[in-house]
Structure 1
């Protein structure tokens, strides 16, 4: 089996942990597997170096300085592997066999990186490559970086381009947990999680695998997260399933927009819960929810509109803080799903402006970590879909 193993800063944070990492790699090699290693800077080295740059410097000099953390790690890990009788070599930007190349805009040069990654893969029977994570080489030979979480990105990207069977992210957590074990009781490891689920969690604070890395995951590439104390690269942890796809789609059935108004609903504990619970108890599916200070809007199947209106009306009558319920139908929803959409400055205006230029009224727009939902009149749904597809 061909495996790319990425060791995070914590898993290389001391000599003992480097020894543990080397033991796990050596065991996998002894079992006959092809192993490539991606190494982060030891511990908090990168942050420490950045903190010490208290003088004016350009991006090129800064990249050179922060690269020293990864450069040190690969030398340490290569030496530890050699001490165990494992043939190993370290790879860093500037070397003739370095794989990760960026273009003049700082984006990964896919064609060149894939070609070089396959060349590295061809040598896996001869030696274990220990590759600096986070770093890349520009077209002029300069050192560039892949941004926050760049070592994860290096690992999954190389796993994809090297035709690996699996990428193993070795870190300081037991895989993906049901909750933060430092905050909630009884948190346990999740054996499997989808790419979509993890990307949404990652954009909202879960520091397990960098979202940028998961964009490189394809369906036939296994990605697994294990704790550095586990000691076995080939089992345990959390398996990340599926692949993330850029998608623009129009919901096939129309929606009804049901809005409940009241006085400062947002500041009234229990109001939203009672409204949504009433719909749920009647087995009415809620497609989406939007809220303001004085309103809560539920989007449900248009066939359920009348029943949902009556259910919510009963809640309005029962609660003094609520005043009225109204229905608007039929509406179409076009959803754009594409990784870091809401995290790209200006992306919402890039989507909305062409729709406005076409004189299409947007009833609502709802964003999540990885998607944008556009609500328009049902008759405008196909035109909105076509405009949005042209953008992506």
Structure 2
């Protein structure tokens, strides 16, 4: 079995934790497995270094300064493993065997990095490779960085390019929890979660694994998150399943758009629950929900239009906060899924502007952390799909 394990700053926060990390790595080696290690800066070293740059430093100097945290960590781990009789080699930018190369635009040079990662993978049968997380190197030999969450990206990227069986992210949480344990009493560990679910949580504040790292995850290898106190790299924690795909999908069936009006309905407690509850009781699926200050819109299968209208009208006539219901049919939905869509400046404009140029009306736009849903006239669906595909595949 081949493992890439990333140790976060907290898991290397002091000498005792470095020893704990070294013990867990040594246990993997002693069980006959291959392991590469990605190390973050110890504790809050990177933040302290950044706070110390109170002068006007250029990007190259800043990268060199902040790299000192990771450079210290790999030396600590190498020494701790050597003390346990484990052969290990640490790698940092500037080394001839350094794997992660960026191009002139600061993006990972995939082909060059893959080739270098393969060389490292071939050495895992003789010793542990310890790599500085977060850091990269351009073709001129200058130190660069992978940005926020870069150590996670380093680990999952190398797991991918080194043909690892599993990437283990060692951090200060018990994997993914049902809720924030500092806020929610009784929060428990989630044994499995999909890449899609986790990426949406990550973009909305869950600090488990950097969203940018999940882009390197494929079906070919697993990713697992464990607590540093667990001590066992080969079990426990939360397993992240699947891979994130970039998709442009046109729903096969048409939808009905059912809108309920009510004065300041968004500020009325329980209205949305009452409306959706009426549909849930009849086992009617809601494809999407949109809301304004004075309205709530449900998108449902067009075949269910009359049934849904009747159910929701019964709510309208019994609830003074609602005034009327209206229905529009022959609605198509195109969903663009992938990457960090709503977090990319201008991405909504890139989708909508070409449709406006083609005089295609967009009824609604609903976004999440990783997708954009466009609701349009059914008759415009094929032309709109072609336009959106051209924008995101070229």
Distance apart, 1:47 and its partner CA: 1.1
Residue matched to 2:170: 170
| SS of aligned partner of 1:136 | strand
Partners in 2 of 1:155 and 1:280 — Cα distance? 43
**Pairwise mapping of residues 358-373 of structure 1 onto structure 2 (< 5 A)?**
358-373=358-373
Partners in 2 of 1:31 and 1:378 — Cα distance? 59
| Runs of at least 5 residues in structure 2 that lack an aligned partner in the other structure | none
Partners in 1 of 2:59 and 2:327 — Cα distance? 54
| SS of aligned partner of 1:71 | helix
Residue matched to 2:187: 187
Distance apart, 1:299 and its partner CA: 0.3
Residue matched to 1:154: 154
**Pairwise mapping of residues 220-259 of structure 1 onto structure 2 (< 5 A)?**
220-259=220-259
Residue matched to 1:92: 92
Partners in 2 of 1:149 and 1:4 — Cα distance? 16
Distance apart, 1:384 and its partner CA: 1.1
**Pairwise mapping of residues 203-222 of structure 1 onto structure 2 (< 5 A)?**
203-222=203-222
The superposition leaves residues 110-163 of structure 1 with CA deviations (integer Å, 9 ceiling, x where unpaired) of: 000000000000111121111000000012111111111110000000000000
Distance apart, 1:234 and its partner CA: 0.6
Give me the CA root mean square deviation.
Answer: 0.7
Residue matched to 2:113: 113
**Pairwise mapping of residues 14-163 of structure 1 onto structure 2 (< 5 A)?**
14-163=14-163
Structure 1 residue runs of 4+, over 3 Å off?
Answer: none
Partners in 1 of 2:310 and 2:365 — Cα distance? 26
TM-score by length of 2: 0.99
The superposition leaves residues 29-58 of structure 1 with CA deviations (integer Å, 9 ceiling, x where unpaired) of: 011100000000001111111111111111
| SS of aligned partner of 1:286 | coil
Greater mean deviation of Cα atoms: 305-314 or 32-41: 305-314
Partners in 2 of 1:53 and 1:329 — Cα distance? 59
1:308 and 2:308 aligned? yes
Greater mean deviation of Cα atoms: 245-254 or 54-63: 54-63
Partners in 2 of 1:299 and 1:48 — Cα distance? 50
| SS of aligned partner of 2:366 | strand
**Pairwise mapping of residues 234-313 of structure 1 onto structure 2 (< 5 A)?**
234-313=234-313
Distance apart, 1:269 and its partner CA: 0.6
| SS of aligned partner of 1:62 | helix
Partners in 2 of 1:152 and 1:34 — Cα distance? 19
Distance apart, 1:362 and its partner CA: 0.3
TM-score by length of 1: 0.99
| Runs of at least 5 residues in structure 1 that lack an aligned partner in the other structure | none
